[in-house]
């Protein structure tokens, strides 16, 4: 059996390389995090926004399931490990400067959101026509 070699990310040496080369070189922010949008692989519906650090991104690649970094708990968060609401990763995309990630996932279990809804974006912002308090309404 061949020993497993940890996944390696490319260097971020030039803008040209980051934007055009075919080597994944994610840019983590000053806190060591990168924003990750999970979308349903079949419907393209936005499910949730979370963050990954380098370790959780590598674990996601290894497991084929989403592993995030919980900013509030300051720990790895294997989505679904306790709830059964796993996200099976179908595809990983990055933007032009590789500082954001989109996970195309198959959502397993009852839902994605901790509120037990199918996604975390269940409300929309309602902008009042003449100023005043900005409110929320159910998204349709």
d(CA 1, CA 117) in angstroms, rounded, equals 43
Helix (H, G, I), strand (E, B) or coil at 20: helix
Give the predicted TM-score (pTM) of the model: 0.91
Residue ranges of domains in the chain? 29-138
Please give the pLDDT value at position 140: 81
- Residue 58 CA neighbour count, 13 Å, CB half: 9
Residues 47-75: pLDDT tens digits? Answer: 999 999 999 999 999 999 999 999 999 99
Q: Which residues of the chain have pLDDT under 70?
A: 1-2, 4
pLDDT of residue 48: 97
Residue 16: predicted pLDDT: 95
How far apart CA 104 and CA 44 sit, in angstroms, is 8
pLDDT score for 110: 82
* List of residues 6+ apart from 52 with CB closer than 8 A: 33, 34, 36, 60, 67, 68, 69, 101
Instruction: Please state whether beta strands 100-107 and 34-40 pair in parallel, antiparallel, or not at all (unpaired).
Output: parallel
CATH number, domain 29-138? 3.10.20.810
């Amino acid at each position: 059996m061949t020993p497993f070699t940890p996944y390696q990310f490319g260097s971020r040496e030039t803008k040209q390389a980051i934007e055009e080369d075919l080597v994944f070189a994610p840019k983590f922010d000053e806190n060591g995090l990168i924003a990750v949008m999970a979308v349903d692989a079949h419907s393209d519906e936005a499910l949730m926004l979370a963050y990954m650090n380098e370790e959780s991104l590598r674990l996601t690649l290894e497991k084929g399931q989403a592993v995030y970094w919980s900013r509030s708990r300051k720990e790895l968060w294997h989505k679904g490990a306790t709830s059964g609401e796993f996200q099976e990763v179908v595809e990983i995309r990055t933007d032009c400067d590789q500082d954001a990630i989109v996970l195309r996932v198959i959502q397993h279990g009852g839902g994605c959101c901790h509120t037990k809804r199918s996604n975390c974006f269940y409300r929309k912002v309602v902008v009042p026509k003449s100023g005043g308090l900005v409110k929320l309404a159910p998204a349709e």
